[in-house]
Amino acid sequence: MQHPQPEHEASETLAAQPIARVHRDGIEYVLLGTAHVSRASVEAVREILERESFDAVAVELCEPRYKSMRDPESFRNLDLFQIIRQGKAGLVAANLALSAFQRRLAEQFGIEPGAEMKAAIDGAEARELPVWLIDREVGITLKRAIRSVGFVDRLGIMGGLAASLISREDVEESEIEKLKEGDMLGSMFNEFARESPPLFEALISERDRYMTARLREESEQASNAGKPVQRVLAVIGAGHLAGIEKAIESQVDAPGPMQKTLSELPPGSPWPKRIGFAIFAIIAVAIASLFYRGAEFGTDALWVWILCTGIGAAIGTFAAGGHPLSALAGFIVAPLKPFRPGVPVGAASAGVEVWIHRPRVADFDSLRDDVIHWTGWWKNRISRTLLVFVFTNLGMMFGTWIAGFRIIKSLL
């Protein structure tokens, strides 16, 4: 299959975009770097498809994000009970926060988030070209990022998510174009991602290698199917351009095993669980010691534990806008946490919340728009349930520390 060579003189639109052309195994990969909420990026995608011929178009999307983009009503398929039972409420909330950050920027400039990816997909379909989804799932990326860093860096991740929701400052369009120098996930955590090597590795570098492996795998599969490709357009966030360009030239491992390795979740550090168990053990020993001194002392300590953990969980539930019965569930379950270590306290409160305030069709329809503004998280029944899960757990955690401090102080 012969392809016309690209015109020697690039248009102003394309000249302003970061573009790399890399050859490997007889295939030319044209890497077009974009900002995910940029009008100029959308125009560049459309123009390069008009000016040049390709055999396939690859986009920085995973299967769930692609389905979400093509089917805006996909959130209606959310099974909150299942999400809560599996302990995935925090992850879903993080995904919504990432989406809200992107949509907030897009809303400011009147452009749909991911419009450049949609333009690439529409352009490929109009030309009957295959579309390759090459990015790793956001959930896996976030989990690997969280498990790769320590407690302080984890607080930084949560802080970045929270700051993206609370900040209401307008962003200059020139600053949006500067996203071409970074990545949407990286920009969300600002300098923090660049100052934390493990976080940068999970958010950026690993995905560079993963997307390169996907490009190679798709090319091999096309060749094995008797439809070899010679030129592939890859529309990616420009923060990945340099890394993918280098990886295409140097990657030697088989693409399949490499993707599997980069998708595996590293084992979580045992220290948080050990520390948590140690704290509960110390408090239990302290309460037992106080009972040894006298039933009155032990009973008082037991009530301190029940009230501090229970009230902490209940306050967290109320802070999330939960129903009084949801707070009561947290109050009852929180003191029993040491006896049910695998069940988050927030799951009980969130389960009651979704039972009392079952999501309506309107909640699913407005979810994407509601979470753009931080106050909307408390208005929408779906996002509020997720907040109940997170805040109840946080409240119980603070209650545990207060109870432990008071009990040990009384022992001394």
- pLDDT by residue (tens digit) across 322-349? 999 999 999 999 998 877 766 788 999 9
How does DSSP classify residue 6? P
Question: Pairing between strand 131-133 and 56-59?
Answer: parallel
**Alpha helices (H) in 172-323, listed in sequence order:** 173-177, 184-188, 191-195, 197-200, 206-224, 241-250, 255-263, 271-293, 295-319
Task: Report whether pLDDT(182) > 70.
Answer: no
What would the two tokens of residue 351 be?
């389960």
Q: Is the dihedral of CA 69, 70, 73, 77 positive or negative?
A: negative
What does the pLDDT read at residue 313? 96
CB 236 within 8 A of CB 211: yes
Confidence of residue 173 (pLDDT cuts 50, 70, 90): low
In Å, how far from its chain's centre is CA 2?
Answer: 41
Residue carrying the six token digits 């595996």: 264
Return the bridge partners of 30, or none.
21, 233
pLDDT score at 352: 94
Which residue has tokens 């993206």?
A: 164
- Smallest Cα–Cα separation from 396: which of 308, 292, 328? 308
One-letter identity of residue 247:
A
Q: What's the pLDDT at 269?
A: 66
- Residue 227 scores a pLDDT above 80: yes
Gap between the Cα atoms of 179 and 190, Å rounded = 11
Say which amino acid occupies 128: E
**pLDDT tier, 266 (very low <50, low <70, confident <90, very high otherwise):** confident
The confidence band for 73, taking pLDDT boundaries of 50, 70 and 90, is low
DSSP state letter for 264 = S
CA atoms within 13 A on the CB side of 184: 26
d(CA 236, CA 31): 7
pTM of the model: 0.71
| Span 187-211, average pLDDT | 73
pLDDT at res. 201: 83
Instruction: Let me know: does 134 contact 58? Beta carbons within 8 Å.
Output: yes
Q: Is the pLDDT of residue 286 over 80?
A: yes
Mean pLDDT score of the chain, rounded to an integer?
Answer: 81
* pLDDT at residue 8 in the model: 45
Q: How confident is the model at residue 6, as a pLDDT? A: 53
Task: Answer with the residue of higher pLDDT: 273 or 185.
Answer: 273
In 3D space, the residue among 184, 341, 200, 232 whose CA is nearest the CA of residue 276 turns out to be 341
| Model confidence pLDDT, tens digit, residues 101-111 | 666 666 666 66
- Please provide residue 132's backbone torsions phi and psi, each rounded to the nearest 5 degrees: -105, 125
Tell me if residue 28 falls in helix, strand or coil.
strand
Mean pLDDT calculated for residue range 397-407: 93
Give domain limits for the chain.
12-263, 271-411
Q: What pLDDT was estimated at residue 102? A: 64
Q: Could you tell me where the DSSP H helices lie in 54-180?
A: 63-70, 80-85, 89-108, 115-126, 138-147, 151-166, 173-177
Count of Cβ atoms closer than 10 Å to residue 244 Cβ: 26
3-state class (DSSP) for residue 373: coil
> Distance between CA 317 and CA 298 in Å, rounded?
29
Please give the radius of gyration of the chain, using alpha carbons only, rounded to the nearest integer: 25
